[in-house]
Amino acid sequence: MPYYYILDLHGQTVDSAGKILTRTLNSLPHDVREMEVIHGFHQGDALKKFVRNYKNKRIEKKIVGLNQGSTIFIIRKQ
């Protein structure tokens, strides 16, 4: 079973990214503990801002690392 999941939102609008992010989080297997969300940053920062401010009950915390193009979500145990 997976422990880590990667979701690439490159090329999405904020609206479509929100739908994809919500759908993905709601359907993640229960053993996934981390999800890396790749949003990019060279084409503007709308997706980055959206992802870093996004709220969902499955997200325990967010980690902003050295890579400005992605954000790590720590997934709450269920």
Domain 4-75, what architecture? 2-Layer Sandwich (3.30)
Distances (CA, A) of 19 to 54, 58, 66: 11, 15, 26
pLDDT of 1:
56
pLDDT of 71:
97
Domain ranges of the chain: 4-75
What pTM was computed for the model? 0.90
User: For the segment 9-42, what is each residue's pLDDT rounded down to a tens digit?
Assistant: 988 999 999 999 999 999 999 899 999 999 988 7
pLDDT of 5:
95
28-37: buried (b, 16+ CB within 10 Å) or exposed (e) per residue? Answer: beeebbebbb
